[in-house]
Structure 1
Amino acid sequence: MSQRIAILPETITNKIAAGEVVERPASVIKELLENSLDAGASDVSVEIAAGGRRLIRITDNGHGMSREDALLSLERHATSKIRTDSDLDGILTLGFRGEALPSIASVSRFRLATREAGSLEGTEIIVEGGRVKDVKACGMAPGTVISVEQLFFNTPARLKFLRSAETETGHVGDTVARMAVSRPEVAFRLASDDREMLRVQRSDLRRRIAQTVGKDAAAALHEVAGTEGGITVTGFISGPQSVRSTTSAMFTYINGRFVRDKVVQHAIMQAYRGVIDRGRYPILALFIELPPGEVDVNVHPTKHEVRFRRQSAVHDALQAALEGVLRRSPWLAHRQEPAPPAQAAPPTGQAYRERIAAAAQASLRFVEQPPRSSFPLASASGDGTCTTPVAAVAPPETPVSVREPAEPFQPEPASAESAGYFSALAIIGQFHGEYLLCQSGAELVIIDQHAASERVAYQRLRQQFRAGGVESQRLLFPETLELSFGEAAVVGRFREDLARIGFDLEPFGGTTVIVAALPRLATGRDGMQLVRDILAELAALGTSAAFDGAIDDLLARIACHSVVRGFHPLENRQITELLRAMDETDFAASCPHGRPVSHTITLGELEKIFKRT
């Protein structure tokens, strides 16, 4: 019988490996940059032409390689990162497979030049399509230079899958930016077709983020630092004002390695739940540090995916660290109030007050004004003279309290007892019965009273639920509610869970239920519509086991039904109480659905509108 199974030649196996590792020019640059950083480089330069198809050149000042190591590096599974299988449980380097260089060299015209610091000369190796063409000595500075020309020249099927040069350049830029954020202590440069796209010097993390995502975005970042169960989370995150429509500005690293992990992203979005709108993503750079044995990076050839030994612990530690920052709404609490505009000050001083007091004392020698509460109405005689009797009295012995000259109009100040951001606002009034107008220094603060009330109610409901159950109010006259068969089935499946959030629904025969109690905060509103809305959300869960995962949405629905909507005039006392409650509330800058609570208009913006600047 003829032999059907054959061992593939090395050139074919390298091309197969290249299909897993080398997807596009950006993946080539990622692998080469990881090698540069593992080599201890502090200065890395990336040059590309035609989006990386024509040329990719990486230059670094790392420790370089000897002639023997340079030749070995082009062999498959040749690496300096690991030696035994036990090393796989403690990987701290970015690369470790030993597949990148031979895979890249097999699908390109490849040149490697390298020199160690103690060597008199460097080594240059030229490879074409996986075959070594030349090895020779060369003169160069310590470090490594790798040139990749005509990528996929010998695999036209892969070449056809590449996008336009502009698209590939964009992917390269994203890759270099992710690497740059991960190592602020390393200088990076990126040039495309002889045009410099990025140059960042050694700096700290905040400045590095500003250099890669923009100064405006970086200025609105807030520091994160937390440790839980041996898992450390550090970095910076944005507030609700600085969000993007994609995840391109979310930089997450596990032990210094950039990852796109579902567990990590789920924890981030859970922390931001109710802070930003759905479909929006924050700007952040987060570094998660944990023992190397707790994470498996040997999951996928691209090393973008990892597997955690304690998945729930990582998720909870990350979510707790982010919520610890977000619940304080730091973008409000630590705002620097700008100085009010300069204006002519009324006359003040001790001498001025003494002159006014002397004049007041002199006037009291002739007339004593009766108390305001009993001041009689003056009657006029026909000749226009006043007939009200006037009594002359001696001047009082006690000094007269003199008021300062009237100040320009100032809004009614909030109570001085509270030091919170919202409580410190000066109340101007209400607009359209829906928005509160307040002043903070030289800023006009507009507050959506429905969103603010909804956030306060939602936080109170959460506190009650965590304490054992949402506080309910029994109805004086229970109401009957006709349900559909599907709604009735939901009641039967979730009746005990509904009691935990304040609803008491008793079967009354057929598909009718008696609504005996509602959440106390929601009484006085359209309770029957709230019941139907809650049942509709529960119907989508399918099983009772999913109830706890949907509790935040359910409580947000109750909160929305329990607070003022639309036109609703408020007295100053009610406004003051709402502002005070906002300062006692976590995540005060947004409603539970992620909509903003307040908006600020600066004095400068108003002056531009009225063309005063």
Structure 2
Amino acid sequence: MSDIIQLLPDHVANQIAAGEVVQRPSSVVKELLENAIDAGATSIKLIVKDSGRTLVQVIDNGKGMSVTDARLCFERHATSKIQKAEDLFNLQTKGFRGEALASIAAIAHVELKTKQETEELGTLIKIEGSAVTSQESVSASTGTSLSVKNLFYNIPARRNFLKSNTVETRHIVNEFQRVSLAHPSIAFSFHHNDSEIYVLPKGNLRQRIVSILGKKTNEKLVPISEATDVVEITGFVAKPEFAKKKRGEQFFFVNDRFIKNAYLNHAVTSAFEGLISNGHFPTYFLFLNVPAKSIDINIHPTKTEIKFDDEKTLYAILRSTIKHSLGQYNVAPVLDFNRDAQLDTPYNFKNKTAPSTPKVSVNPDFNPFKAETTSKPYTPKPFKKEEANWDSLYTGLDVEKIEVEAEPVLNQLFTEEKTVNKTYQIHSKYIVSSIKSGIVYIHQNLAHQRILYEEFLENITVKDAMSQQLLFPLEINFSATDIDLIKEIKEDLESVGFLFDTITNETIVIKGIPVNITESQTTIIIEQLLDDIKNDIPDTSFSQLDIMAKSLAKSLAIKTGTKLDAKEQEEIVNNLFLTKQPDLSPFGKKTFVTVNIDEIDKRFNN
């Protein structure tokens, strides 16, 4: 029998490795930015075109590479970060696997230009699908410029799995924010399709957070600082009143590396217990500095998951640190056993004694229920006929001919019309109504979503939406990326009923809102809309309007737990069955369930 096991060619092995390392354009951004940081760069520039499909370029002013290193860095498992297995447990750098550049070069067109400070000329290398097409000496500035073009050009199936440009851009922005937050001492800039998204000068962590999320963020931050033998914790948390309904602004860094850890996230959330309402999440930017030997960062290819030596201790320290800081800055209520100077005795009264207790005299013979003999009984004033001559009103009338329609005397003065409810509400969640074939159970939230969705869609596509003018324009702050997205969908928002006064790099001013929302709901609705667009929206204009109608319907629909009177229940039932597709919500969930008489009979016959 012939042998069937064989070694894979290098280019195939690199493509397989790329499946782990390079999942989307944001993965390339992460690897190239981390390489630039490891190279000692103080200024890093990111250039992206078509959400990374066409180009991802990172330019840094780091130490650069020699001719040999420039060629060798694209070989698999070639790295300058580690030399032996023990080095994996004492890592001080970002990249160390030696797979990133080899994997990227296997699925894209790569162009590397690099020069060391001591060299007069730099090196230019071009690679297509792991194959080096050219290498030459060129004039270049100190540092490295690496361009990744036409990502997944030789793997069409992987390219087809990429999401819309909006979604892919959101992932790239997330990676850029994570890396730039972890290194505020490095200057970063980000350009997308020839438009400037971020220009971040070097500074401290607070300045970097404000530069990314806007100037209004500064007043929301509460500093966190604690140093123990196990961990050193620094960073910021946002005040409880600024908690949001999404988890977007939650950042954990361990030794300046962004990580995801549900266990530590729970520690932060528990520290805010009782301070934020249900469904809201705290914002935080927390840096944990632990000994390199106490963590293992080599358990996942993307290195966003870390294994800790003692997670329970970290949990307790992190939770108590945040609680202490919230109390220290008078954000959370605390018990203060220190002396309050305002309660001290003034100097003028220091030597004075307390006055004697006043005496109270009581008449033991007083009886409030005993009638007083001295009081005179009340005698009503006699009625004088001349004061009101009622007989004159009936002069000339034949009393016998007057007929009065008498009504039967009832036990109550007013009779209420007896009404029979056609609908009933169960647990403030479901509406029950009888139909010819049995009973129908309607989910009030999902049913109202369907009703509002079709109303919004009709207003957007057919009718002119009605707006209500605000007495005072409403100013809302957003990040730079959210402002760009608002500019893209501005016309669609106006078709719904929003009217904008001005839009700047950090704020929008709204002077009119749709008639069926309130001013207090505006910020929540727009934030939810932006979040839905970032995650779900395809690239067609109609789908953009559709997702907008869905998002508005979801935000404004009657929530579970809302009590409805009989009229409101009937209105939902009637309006639901007037829609084009009453059986499904805008997101494909059932709005009602019917139970016929036969099913009910079976329950009693068993």
TM-score in terms of structure 1 length: 0.54
Query: Partner amino acid for 1:261?
Result: N
The CA deviation at 1:331 is: 4.1
Q: Which residue of 1 aligns with 2:193?
A: 193
Q: Count residues with an aligned counterpart.
A: 340
Q: 1:255 to 1:91 in 2, by over 3 A?
A: same
Alignment match, 1:387 = none
How many angstroms apart in 2 are the aligned matches of 1:285 and 1:97? 27
Distance 1:227 1:416, change over 3 A: closer
Looking at structure 2, the residues matched to 246 and 296 of structure 1 have their Cα atoms a distance apart, in angstroms, of 29
Could you tell me which residue of structure 2 aligns to residue 417 of structure 1?
A: 342
Tell me the C-alpha RMSD between the 2 structures. 1.9
Is 2:304 the counterpart of 1:304?
yes
CA offset at residue 279 of structure 1?
2.7
Alignment match, 2:51? 51
Q: CA deviation at 1:329?
A: 5.3
Q: Distance in 2 between matches of 1:319 and 1:100?
A: 36
Q: Tell me, in whole angstroms, the C-alpha distance in 1 between the residues paired with 2:322 and 2:155.
A: 46
- CA drift at 1:263: 2.4
Deviations 1:543-596 (A, max 9, x none): xxxxxxxxxxxxxxxxxxxxxxxxxxxxxxxxxxxxxxxxxxxxxxxxxxxxxx
Contact 1:213 / 1:249 at 8 angstroms: preserved in 2?
no
1:34 is matched with which residue?
Answer: 34
**Is contact 1:177–1:212 with CA below 8 Å preserved after alignment?**
yes
| 2:103 alignment partner in structure 1 | 103
The separation in 2 between residues aligned to 1:103 and 1:278, in whole angstroms, is: 44
CA distance, structure 1, for counterparts of residue 343 and residue 233 of structure 2:
32
Q: Distance in 2 between matches of 1:80 and 1:174?
A: 27
For residues 427-454 of structure 1, the C-alpha deviation after alignment (integer angstroms, 9 at most, x for no partner) is xxxxxxxxxxxxxxxxxxxxxxxxxxxx
Indicate conservation of the 8 Å contact 1:222/1:330, yes or no: no
| 2:172 aligned partner | 172
1:330 deviates by 2.9
Q: Does the aligned pair in 1 maintain the 2:121–2:139 contact within 8 Å? A: yes
Q: Does structure 1 conserve the Cα–Cα contact (< 8 Å) formed by 2:275 and 2:332?
A: no
Which residue of the partner structure matches residue 497 of structure 1? none
> Where does the alignment leave 5 or more consecutive residues of structure 1 unmatched?
334-414, 420-608
Spell out the pairing of 1:514-553 with structure 2 (5 A cutoff): none
Question: Are residues 95 and 27 of structure 1, via their aligned partners in 2, closer, same or farther at CA, if it must alter by over 3 Å?
Answer: same
Provide the residue aligned with 2:82 in structure 1.
82
Tell me by how many angstroms 1:188 deviates.
0.6
> How many Å apart are 1:159 and its aligned residue?
0.5
Alignment map for 1:238-253 (pairs within 5 Å) = 238-253=238-253
Equivalents in 2 of 1:123, 1:314: separation in Å?
47
Distance 1:321 1:416 in 2: 28
Determine if the alignment matches structure 1 residue 138 to structure 2 residue 63. Answer: no
1:2 is displaced (CA, Å) by 2.3
- Secondary structure of the residue that 1:151 maps to in structure 2? coil
Q: Which residue pairs with 2:73 in the alignment?
A: 73
> Is contact 2:326-2:332 (8 Å) kept?
no
1:502-581 → structure 2 map (5 Å cutoff):
none
Moved more, 154-163 or 210-219: 210-219
Q: CA deviation at 1:302?
A: 0.1
SS at match of 2:114: strand
Instruction: Name the SS of the counterpart of 1:282 in structure 2.
Output: coil
Query: 2: CA distance between counterparts of 1:299 and 1:12?
Result: 24
Aligned to 2:295: 295
Q: Which residue identity is paired with 1:183?
A: H
- Which secondary structure state, in structure 2, belongs to the residue aligned with residue 103 of structure 1? helix
Structure 1 residues 109-128: aligned runs within 5 Å: 109-128=109-128
Deviations 1:469-492 (CA, angstroms, capped at 9, x unpaired): xxxxxxxxxxxxxxxxxxxxxxxx
CA distance in 2, matches of 1:246, 1:92: 33
Report the secondary structure of 2:190's partner residue.
Answer: strand
Q: Distance in 2 between matches of 1:116 and 1:418?
A: 70
1:100 aligned partner, one-letter code: A
Stretches of structure 2 that go unaligned for 5 or more consecutive residues are 334-339, 345-518, 520-606
The aligned runs of 1:309-328 (5 Å cut-off) are 309-328=309-328
Aligned residue number for residue 366 of structure 1:
none
Contact 2:49–2:56 under 8 Å retained in 1: yes
> Structure 1 residue 138: deviation in Å?
1.2
Question: Which residue number in structure 2 is paired with residue 60 of structure 1?
Answer: 60
Amino acid at match of 2:236: F
Q: Does 1:162 align with 2:162?
A: yes
C-alpha distance in structure 2 between counterparts of 1:202 and 1:105, whole Å: 31
- What percentage of residue pairs aligned between the two structures are identical? 37
What residue number does 1:263 align with?
Answer: 263
CA shift, 1:277, in A, is 2.2
Partner Cα distance (1:77, 1:330) in 2: 52
Matches of 1:197 and 1:220, distance apart in 2: 23
Q: Which residue of 1 aligns with 2:25?
A: 25
Counterparts of 1:318 and 1:194 in 2: how far apart (Å)? Answer: 42
Three-state SS of the structure 1 residue aligned to 2:276 is coil
Q: Are the aligned partners of 1:45 and 1:190 in contact in 2 as well (CA < 8 Å)?
A: yes
Distance 2:343 2:332 in 1: 15
In structure 1, give the amino acid aligned to 2:117: A
Residues in 2 aligned to 1:418 and 1:50: alpha-carbon distance in whole angstroms: 67
Say whether the 8 Å CA contact 1:237–1:283 is kept in structure 2: yes
Q: 1:205 corresponds to which residue?
A: 205
In the alignment, the residues of structure 2 paired with residue 228 and residue 270 of structure 1 have an alpha-carbon distance, to the nearest angstrom, of: 21
In structure 2, C-alpha distance between the alignment counterparts of 1:187 and 1:29, rounded to whole Å? 16
Asked if 2 retains the 8 angstrom alpha-carbon contact of 1:227 and 1:317, the reply is: no
Equivalent in the alignment of 2:488: none
CA distance in structure 2 between the partners assigned to 1:299 and 1:418 by the alignment: 59
Matches within 5 A, 1:330-349: 330-331=330-331
* Contact 1:232 1:290 (8 Å CA) reproduced: yes
Between the aligned partners of 1:246 and 1:301, the Cα distance in structure 2 is: 27
Structure 1 distance, partners of 2:301, 2:283, is 27
CA distance in 2, matches of 1:331, 1:245: 20
TM-score (norm 2): 0.54
Aligned to 1:511: none
State the shift of 1:177 in Å: 1.0
Aligned equivalents of 1:270, 1:310: Cα separation in 2: 19
1 CA distance for matches of 2:295 and 2:343? 46
